[in-house]
Amino acid sequence: MDELKKKRLFDSAASPLIAILAALAVGAIVMLLTGTNPLYAYKEMFTKSFFKPYYLAETLVRSAPIMLSGVAAATVWRAGYINLGMQGQMCVGGLVAAVMAIYLPVHSLWGTALCILGGMAAATLIALIPTYLDYKFNASLIITTLMLNYAINHITNYFVAYPMRDTAGDGMAQQSVQIEQSLRFFRFSNKNAMNTSVFIAILVVILMYFVFTKTKFGYESKITGLNKNFANYGGIKSMKTMFQTMALSGALSGFAACIEIFGVRYRYVNSMFSSTGYAWTGLMAMLIAGYNPLLTLVYSIFLAGLNIGGTALQRTVGVPMQIADIIQCCITLFISVNFLYEFNKKRSGKCRKKVGKRWETGGVA
């Protein structure tokens, strides 16, 4: 049993590392084709994302909404359901929290907590819309959550482009007015964006790890993801699990948006969550981590570092910042190939068992 656990641990660690190394190799080939020394470029990229205080702080700040989005996705995916609507849920959660912070007479950290709870509640309600459509009309959860992203993005952009638009500053910018100083997360230095929201996000991720591994909810959602029929037979209501996991996923997505609002931007900006790609990067981190919240945290920091380093690379070396996107997409591609291989292996094993059973029973299944 110990050997089996060691093998599984090795496989879970080896697959992402191989995917990352292969993606870095693809990035190196692209750099060589453009006449850039990949060793020097990677040295600059990682130095200006992890090994200098300013860039490390920027990497950690950027990773906070990514890791929360990744855990939000893992909450649903490990239960056998797919939520692709984290981006839309972030938009709604961030907008509602910003509206409450701007228009309600709230002050201090208690006011911040109230606004964040409001944003999380709004994001939860949005997440439950496609959940209900799946339950009532058997609508595809994948399609409804994905399509809602586009509708919600345009709706939230309307509010900051017209009724909530800040006309006192840059008239061309589509953004709301800033929230009060008393509602913002504490920033450690004026030289970078490092603030308390990073540590709050890490604590939430650690908390979710214990929820996944040590609670009844975590056990039921895992069993449902492994086999819905077995879960129903054992008394676990899969529909209830779907609503619970989708609600929690929406709440985490809303919280991810709130820490960006109250920790970094201090306002709602047009397309601030669709252009940054926090939700999709978090989804990548979750897939690489195999739904593990702690590994999602690690890979979120790594992917955030690629973004920060890629931007710095364009300024210093002249390599397009899209090289970081190429590396991220290749990592996801290689991880997906591994998932597909494992899926086909399990399916072929089941087919062999069925054929063997029919052979033993004289052709009767």
- The reply to whether 11 falls in a domain is no
User: φ and ψ at 107, to 5 degrees?
Assistant: -145, 165
CB burial of 29-43 (b: ≥16 within 10 Å; e: otherwise) equals ebbeeeebebeebbe
Over range 147-153, report the average pLDDT.
97
The answer to whether the beta carbons of residues 75 and 249 sit under 8 Å apart is yes
User: φ and ψ at 239, to 5 degrees?
Assistant: -65, -40
Both tokens assigned to 188: 């450690």
Calculate ∠ Cα 307-211-274, nearest 5°. Answer: 30
* CA–CA distance, 306 with 98 (Å, rounded to integer): 29
What SS3 class is residue 175? strand
Q: Between the CA of residue 270 and those of 128, 144, 147, 154, what are the distances in Å? A: 24, 23, 19, 9
Domain range holding 197?
Answer: 16-342
Whether 312 has a pLDDT exceeding 90, the answer reads no
Q: Count CB neighbours of 140 within 10 A.
A: 13
- Residue 27: name the closest of 322, 335, 308 by CA: 322
Average pLDDT score, the chain: 90
Whether 22 has a pLDDT exceeding 50, the answer reads yes
Q: How confident is the model at residue 337 (pLDDT cuts 50, 70, 90)?
A: confident
Both tokens assigned to 342: 């494992």
Which CATH number goes with the domain that contains 24?
1.10.3470
Q: Count CB neighbours of 305 within 10 A.
A: 24
Segment 256-265, tens digit of pLDDT? 999 999 999 9
> What residue has token string 């490990």?
78
Segment 36-59, tens digit of pLDDT? 899 999 999 999 999 999 999 999
* Top-confidence residue, 111 or 4: 111
Amino acid identity, position 186: F
* Top-confidence residue, 168 or 339: 168
- The reply to whether 8 falls in a domain is no
267: Cβ–Cβ under 8 A, 6 or more apart, which residues? 98, 166, 175, 176, 177, 178, 179, 261
- The reply to whether 28 falls in a domain is yes
- The reply to whether 288 falls in a domain is yes
Amino acid identity, position 253: S
How many folded domains does the chain comprise?
1
Q: Which of 31-35, 168-172, 251-255, 272-276 has the highest mean pLDDT?
A: 251-255
Q: Which residues lie across from 195 on neighbouring strands?
A: 187
What radius of gyration, in Å, describes the C-alpha atoms of the chain? 22
Q: How confident is the model at residue 336 (pLDDT cuts 50, 70, 90)?
A: confident
- The reply to whether 130 falls in a domain is yes
- The reply to whether 23 falls in a domain is yes
Whether 364 has a pLDDT exceeding 50, the answer reads no
Over range 156-166, report the average pLDDT.
94
Segment 180-195, tens digit of pLDDT? 999 999 999 988 999 9
pLDDT of residue 11: 64
- The reply to whether 131 falls in a domain is yes
Whether 224 has a pLDDT exceeding 90, the answer reads yes
Percent of the chain with pLDDT over 70: 90
- The reply to whether 33 falls in a domain is yes
pLDDT of residue 173: 84
pLDDT of residue 320: 84
* CA–CA distance, 365 with 359 (Å, rounded to integer): 9
Q: Count CB neighbours of 88 within 10 A.
A: 30
Whether 353 has a pLDDT exceeding 70, the answer reads no
* Top-confidence residue, 266 or 358: 266
pLDDT of residue 344: 73
Q: How confident is the model at residue 355 (pLDDT cuts 50, 70, 90)?
A: very low
HSE, side-chain direction, 13 A CA sphere, residue 172: 0
